[in-house]
């Protein structure tokens, strides 16, 4: 039973606290996939606007708000992929510690 300070009492063992099956701590790949799909959809939708919006304001909007997105998204995807790999390694290392 936990003590009043939030720490487990001595009657708990580490094996009792460790999960028996491997749990996914966080899933970054789903978010990455969603970001990629959304970016592709934005690109497609923006292309569609060129048929009806052909003035200087459109060009300014694209320069100010959209042109910088692809490289930023690419950097984010690469960094998040590296983070996902690190988390996977850490999760595996933690699970290996608790297996008999």
Residue 91 lies in a domain: yes
Residue 11 lies in a domain: no
pLDDT digits (tens, 9 = 90+) for 31-48: 888 999 999 999 999 999
What distance in Å separates the CA atoms of residue 27 and residue 11, rounded to the nearest whole number?
33
Residue 42 lies in a domain: yes
What count of other Cβ atoms lies within 10 Å of the Cβ of residue 61?
A: 15
Give the total number of structural domains in the chain: 1
Residue 9 lies in a domain: no
Residue 35 lies in a domain: yes
Residue-range definition of the domain harbouring residue 43: 26-98
Provide the whole-model pTM: 0.61
pLDDT at 9 over 50: no
What distance in Å separates the CA atoms of residue 15 and residue 98, rounded to the nearest whole number?
7
pLDDT at 26: 73
pLDDT at 7 over 70: no
Asked if 1 contacts 11 with a C-beta cutoff of 8 angstroms, the reply is yes
Residue 40 lies in a domain: yes
């Amino acid at each position: 039973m936990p003590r009043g300070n939030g720490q487990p009492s001595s009657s708990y063992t580490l094996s009792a606290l460790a999960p028996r099956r491997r749990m996914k701590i966080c899933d970054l790949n789903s978010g990455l996939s969603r970001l990629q799909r959304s970016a592709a959809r934005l690109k497609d939708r923006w292309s569609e606007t060129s048929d009806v919006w052909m003035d200087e304001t459109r060009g300014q909007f694209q320069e100010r708000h959209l042109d910088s997105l692809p490289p930023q998204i690419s950097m984010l995807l690469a960094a998040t992929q590296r983070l996902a790999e690190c988390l996977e390694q850490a999760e595996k290392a933690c699970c290996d510690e608790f297996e008999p």
